[in-house]
Amino acid sequence: MIQRDVYLKKLIDFKDKDLIKIITGIRRCGKSTLFDIYINYLKEQGIQDEQIIKINLESQDFNFENYTELYRCRKEGNVDTDIKMSVKATDTKAQYDNKAKQLLGHKIILAHILVNTVAEFKGMKDGLSQIIVNVEAQKAEPSSYDILNRAIFYVSRMISSQKGRDFVKSNYNDIKRVYSIWICMNMDYNSLSHIHLAKDEMLSPYDWKGNMDLLNIVLVGITNDIPEHDENYEMHRLIGALLSTELREQEKLDIIEHEYNIPISNELREDVRIMCNLSTGIEEKATEKTSEKFILNMYKKGYTLDQIADIAETSVAAVEAVIKKKEPAMA
């Protein structure tokens, strides 16, 4: 696939703006390819597949007579099963994950995270410019895939994407060290894991040249209960307070400002406020999705128990119990 950097930059410049973007051009000039390039870019920024809706209006799978039918199907989630599931399951949660990433990306917040997770930052040694860091935030550990596998995918792309940008031809010694840091909320206990390459000697050892520390994954588990301000859990307390669904806005700001001496800018205050609103929205959505009426409607429309459980973010046993209770003949 030929990269179209000039056109891609135009799309990126208009990202997150309330404008409808229209790409025009003669047939077979690469419009669909440009969309695919843009989708790949979004994925590199942490956008998940289920957050992206792509409809080929030339396909017989979508027979829309006018724009109102398209809007209604998009609104009601009747385009197809995958789109329906994504619209219902990821709307508010996706906003939460993206806003959490933005909140943790504030320079002074990010500095606290890096000091606690990246060895070079702990000692503030030289060579920090040779490190590439990506931080991801998740409302909870994903159930549809193993988060470590996704982290490995991300860190591999962080390495491979350097070719042509940070090094050229076969100058592999110019590869920069990368860190992919994943923060998962709602875990059973607070944790901190550093995953990196290891060397096992299977025969006579040999001192192979190269850097074993190029690929680094850091997984941070945060519980709902915010720990006390302890040296070992300083980062966990800060992140836990920022992303808490229970603390009020002012309580979060007090912890940030008075315990961590972080000045509260207007931008930081606004992001904290939005996070609090999104947390409330997620709780309301969770109540709605686990209601008996919602589960029964999904079941009557032909969804499997596994699909309903995934969308409702509950267990298959809980879904089955609702169906047996309300519709014994259906179970």
Q: How does pLDDT run across 174-221, given as a tens digit for each residue?
A: 999 999 999 998 899 999 999 999 999 999 999 999 999 999 999 999
In terms of residues, how long is the chain? Answer: 331
The answer for residues whose C-beta is within 8 angstroms of residue 231's C-beta and 6 or more apart is none
What token pair was written down for 6?
């000039």
Is residue 176 domain-shared with residue 82, that is, in the same domain?
no
The answer for residues whose C-beta is within 8 angstroms of residue 37's C-beta and 6 or more apart is 1, 3, 4, 8
Of residues 293 and 134, more confidence is placed in 134
Sequence letter at residue 209 = K
Is residue 81 domain-shared with residue 119, that is, in the same domain?
no
Three-class SS state of 42:
helix
DSSP lists the bridge partners of residue 178 as 132, 215
> Which residue, chain included where needed, has tokens 């509950």?
314
What token pair was written down for 140?
């909870």
Q: How does pLDDT run across 128-175, given as a tens digit for each residue?
A: 457 888 998 888 888 778 999 999 999 999 999 899 888 998 999 999
What token pair was written down for 56?
């080929």
Look at residues 88, 109, 141 and tell me which one is the last residue of a structural domain.
88
Give me the pLDDT at residue 177, please. 92
Of residues 65 and 181, more confidence is placed in 181
Look at residues 88, 118, 141 and tell me which one is the last residue of a structural domain.
88
Give me the pLDDT at residue 63, please. 55
Give me the pLDDT at residue 174, please. 92
pTM passes above 0.75: no
- Residue 204 placed within a domain: no
Alpha-carbon span 131 to 274, nearest angstrom: 31
Is residue 133 domain-shared with residue 282, that is, in the same domain?
yes
Is residue 239 domain-shared with residue 140, that is, in the same domain?
yes
Would you place residue 90 in the very low, low, confident or very high pLDDT band (cuts 50, 70, 90)?
Answer: very low
Burial of 242 (0-12, 13-18, 19+ CB in 10 A): buried
Give me the pLDDT at residue 82, please. 40
pLDDT over 70 at 288, yes or no = no
Q: How many domains does the chain have?
A: 3
Average pLDDT over the chain, rounded to whole? 79
> Which residue, chain included where needed, has tokens 């109540």?
287
Give me the pLDDT at residue 131, please. 86
* Helices 305-312 + 292-300 axis angle, to 10: 140
Is residue 141 domain-shared with residue 112, that is, in the same domain?
yes
Would you place residue 308 in the very low, low, confident or very high pLDDT band (cuts 50, 70, 90)?
Answer: confident
Give me the pLDDT at residue 258, please. 93
Q: Which domain holds residue 215?
A: 95-198+211-287
- Residue 206 placed within a domain: no
Q: In the β-sheet with 177-184, what is the strand arrangement from edge to edge? A: 131-138, 177-184, 215-221, 191-196
Closest CA to 94 of 248, 278, 294, 269: 278
* 14: DSSP letter: T
Is residue 194 domain-shared with residue 311, that is, in the same domain?
no
Is residue 148 domain-shared with residue 240, that is, in the same domain?
yes
pLDDT over 50 at 83, yes or no = no
- Residue 205 placed within a domain: no
Is residue 170 domain-shared with residue 252, that is, in the same domain?
yes
What are φ and ψ of residue 191, in 5° steps? -145, 165
Alpha-carbon span 166 to 41, nearest angstrom: 18
Alpha-carbon span 46 to 42, nearest angstrom: 7
**Average of per-residue pLDDT across 293-302:** 77
Is residue 269 domain-shared with residue 128, that is, in the same domain?
yes
Give me the pLDDT at residue 239, please. 94
Would you place residue 28 in the very low, low, confident or very high pLDDT band (cuts 50, 70, 90)?
Answer: low
The CA distances from residue 210 to 6, 129, 197, in Å, are: 35, 19, 12
Give me the pLDDT at residue 259, please. 93
pLDDT over 90 at 86, yes or no = no
Look at residues 88, 118, 152 and tell me which one is the last residue of a structural domain.
88
Is residue 245 domain-shared with residue 103, that is, in the same domain?
yes
What are φ and ψ of residue 75, in 5° steps? -70, -40
